[in-house]
Amino acid sequence: MDKSRAGRVVAIVLGCIVLYGALCVWAVRRTRPRGPVQGQVAPTAPTAVAPPITAPPDMTGKQISPLEVRTADGRTVRLADGRQAVALWVGPAPQVAQAMGGLKQLAAVLPQVRFLLVTDASDGPISAPLPEGAAPAVALVSGGDKVREALGAVLGSHPRQNTEWWLIDGSGTVLAFGEPGTGAAMMEAELAWPYLRQAAETPPDFRPTPVDKLCPDGANRRWQNGGLALWRHRLVAAYGAYGHHGAWDEPVSAFLEEQCRGLDGHDTAGNLDLRVDLADKVLATECDDPVVVYQCGMALAAAGLYHRAHDLFVRAPKLVDHAHYPARDLYALSFLPYDDPRVATPALLDVGYTRFGEALSGDFVPGEQRLEALIMGGGQLWDEIPGPMEGQWQPHAVEALAHPGADLWLRAWADGRALAGRGWGARGSAGANQTSREQFAGLDICLSAATKSLILAWKLHPDFPEPSEAMVSVAMSHGDAASLRFWAERALAADIDTAATDKLLRALWPRWGGSHAAMKAFAQEMASDALAATDAPLTLWRCQESIAADTQSDAPLRDGAAVDAMLATLDKMIAAAATPQRQDRLRTYRIAVLARSGRDKEASAALTQLGNHLDLSVMGNGDEQLQAVFNLWLVHHDLGQQAVEKVDAQYKAGDYAAARAGYEALRPKATLNAVRRQLDETLAGLPGGGARRKAEAAPGG
């Protein structure tokens, strides 16, 4: 179809799929390098930037007088007992349950610290029951006037705040202090920082480890292998336990299994076709399970059938009462489609915010926190989005992350990402000579606070690469090559296909103190033959893309030597691929490299030769323009360029009836699945369109 239609399709995607939906597909793909169509840009200021936070008052080193307090369960605790450090949260009773949830999780990381919550009955009642099973290391002190008085003497003339937190060692010396509205990271990260500070520092004797030595043999796919089990837990097991069952159980079971494979990155061309067919069979049974209907929409959207997907996204929230899913399985349904005021009502959004907070609390199976982070979009939950939710999402997301019992790793990671984003927003993207001292100060304060949260997240789960990935961006502000490499290695050791590769390439731009030579040297490391079973060697091409973005020139993409090196590497990877599906994926990547380098004739010939084995999912959510070009080549090859252009001309002229008749006549002639889907989507988008394949969706149809 015409290129302008590709732009409309992109707009439909953005209107139909946000937060959980698109992020499920896109974010899980970030565990492997994105395709050769992914633009790279320097950090830029968001459209709306919160005022830079200010540095907290420095109470470090001050001394508190010894005193005894009694906990709510009758125990006596002595501050400055010469032995054990004490962390104090001082605040109003209604916030005690929230603080207890975080400190309870932190106590497991810092067994050498005793945690106390200090409040006063005059503040009002405790608003919620304390989390069950509170560790002995975490206790409530009610009637804390003596503690407040002692801390007030340390504060001196500094005004008291509604909430404060302190870390005091066994000798009574203040190690850390924080209060709302300051540069402190979240409370738990601030309190843990004196014990975790060293983990943030690059060892003085640090020497880079060759990338192919970072992961033991066979370990570089452990997340992908575990990810499929997590998706099955999230979808298949959840449907079995909480779903609305009926005559559709058998097709739902088959569909959810393939959907799990797709969401885990196994969405090959064959899998995509199969998922669409299975979704059609499920929908033909009039299944009314909300999660299943929603996932059918996801499968159709992944195949480019956005109009049909949108209808399912509108329908799914209305079916919630038909099943008994917990909040973690339902919160996404409250935010789709977010751009439609008839659907995204304030009442539905309020339900979604509540569910989101509940989703982050409770028990997680091993590894599920990382899956949740990927669903949340690698920090993109902090981005403002248009429509009825504009201006509402960020504050509600912050509130949800503070939910009593919310997982500490998720909170620390998300808080660190948010603080880092605020810092880069305060600095802006201009060169150093165009950046004011105040902007640099805002960056430094925010990144200092972000570091505390990210280091805590790393300490909690060093096997999750996301905190280390974020630390690469933090280290970029210092222009310290050793620190950049140090954190990139930690991320790559956890997952060789992590997005830290892209972050490191960008951090090595000359404007941040690196060089194109350093970028190319790193890319050569990633192209080691020992890593051929992973996607790491594709870094050779992504390096050229990154240089092109830095120089704002396509010349690096048309560098003959670089292109030939990437093609030769891909040929080796294709020959060594363990499955036909991986071969299809790599062949598609090869075609994209040819197209981006200007070798359209070779690319078009290879594209048509690959036919139904073309795997456009390799591109992730990258360059829609190149994907539109691929689609155009496929349509012209399959149906004939003149025949297609004749109908396109009728469409452009506004003769929609003739265009509909023309596209309907072309559809039976299509031999490629991708072309048939394009025609279906085009017909659905025409005036008077809609789902036209209901009869064909019947089992065996």
Q: How far apart are CA 684 and CA 688, in angstroms?
A: 8
CB 69 within 8 A of CB 578: no
Beta pairing class for 174-178 and 164-168: antiparallel
Return the number of other C-beta atoms located less than 10 Å from residue 102's C-beta. 26
Residue 564 is predicted with a pLDDT of 96
Strand-pairing partners, residue 200, are none
Q: Percentage of residues in the chain with pLDDT exceeding 90?
A: 32
Q: Which of 222-231, 376-385, 433-442 has the lowest mean pLDDT?
A: 376-385
SS3 138: strand
Where does the pLDDT of residue 108 fall: very low under 50, low under 70, confident under 90, or very high at 90 and above?
Answer: confident
Amino acid identity of residue 348, one-letter, is L
Average of per-residue pLDDT across 16-36 = 35
Q: Which of 70-84, 312-326, 376-390, 409-423 has the lowest mean pLDDT?
A: 376-390
Higher pLDDT, 520 or 50: 520
With tokens 């109003």, the residue in question is 92
Strand-pairing partners, residue 182, are 54
Q: How far apart are CA 229 and CA 529, in angstroms?
A: 29
Average of per-residue pLDDT across 497-501 = 81
DSSP state letter for 115: E
pLDDT in tens, 166-215: 999 999 999 998 887 655 668 899 899 999 999 888 988 899 999 888 87
Burial class (CB in 10 A: 0-12, 13-18, 19+), 317: buried
**Distance (Å) of CA 72 to CA 48, 136, 445, 484:** 45, 12, 37, 47
Nearest to 213 by CA among 492, 487, 566: 492
CB 537 within 8 A of CB 527: yes
DSSP per position, 442-459:
HHHHHHHHHHHHHHHHHH
Q: Percentage of residues in the chain with pLDDT exceeding 70?
A: 77
pLDDT in tens, 549-561: 999 999 999 999 9
Higher pLDDT, 234 or 129: 234
Nearest to 458 by CA among 450, 468, 448: 468
Average of per-residue pLDDT across 154-162 = 84
Residue 423 is predicted with a pLDDT of 82
Higher pLDDT, 1 or 670: 670
Query: At residue 54, what are phi and psi to the nearest 5 degrees?
Result: -105, 160
Where does the pLDDT of residue 224 fall: very low under 50, low under 70, confident under 90, or very high at 90 and above?
Answer: low
Is the pLDDT at 29 greater than 80? The verdict is no
Q: How far apart are CA 551 and CA 546, in angstroms?
A: 9
Average of per-residue pLDDT across 558-575 = 95
Q: How far apart are CA 312 and CA 296, in angstroms?
A: 8
Helices (H), 367-480: 368-375, 393-401, 408-427, 437-460, 466-476
In the structure encoding, which two tokens stand for residue 366, read together? 């091993």
Q: Which of 59-63, 256-260, 625-629 has the lowest mean pLDDT?
A: 625-629
Q: Which of 168-177, 261-270, 463-472, 516-525 has the lowest mean pLDDT?
A: 261-270
Secondary structure in 3-state letters for 582-627: HHHHHHHHHHHHHHHCCCHHHHHHHHHHHHHHCCHHHHCCCCHHHH
Secondary structure in 3-state letters for 147-214: HHHHHHHHHCCCCCCCCEEEEECCCCEEEEEECCCECCCCHHHHHHHHHHHHHHCCCCCCCCCCHHHC
Is the pLDDT at 14 greater than 50? The verdict is no
Q: How far apart are CA 577 and CA 72, in angstroms?
A: 63
With tokens 């001394």, the residue in question is 63
Q: Is the pTM of this model over 0.85?
A: no
Nearest to 416 by CA among 461, 448, 439: 448
Average of per-residue pLDDT across 44-68 = 67
Is the pLDDT at 500 greater than 90? The verdict is no
Mean pLDDT of the chain: 79
pLDDT in tens, 254-308: 999 999 888 877 656 567 888 999 999 999 999 999 999 999 998 998 888 888 9
Where does the pLDDT of residue 626 fall: very low under 50, low under 70, confident under 90, or very high at 90 and above?
Answer: confident
Where does the pLDDT of residue 655 fall: very low under 50, low under 70, confident under 90, or very high at 90 and above?
Answer: very high
Q: Which of 106-115, 250-259, 689-698 has the lowest mean pLDDT?
A: 689-698
Domain annotation for the chain: domains and CATH numbers: 67-182 (3.40.30.10), 559-616 (no CATH)
Element (H, E) at 429: none
Q: How far apart are CA 240 and CA 218, in angstroms?
A: 32
Nearest to 635 by CA among 663, 598, 600, 601: 663
Average of per-residue pLDDT across 320-331 = 90
CB 563 within 8 A of CB 597: yes
pLDDT in tens, 370-387: 888 777 654 444 444 445
Burial class (CB in 10 A: 0-12, 13-18, 19+), 624: middle
CB 37 within 8 A of CB 593: no
Higher pLDDT, 81 or 116: 116
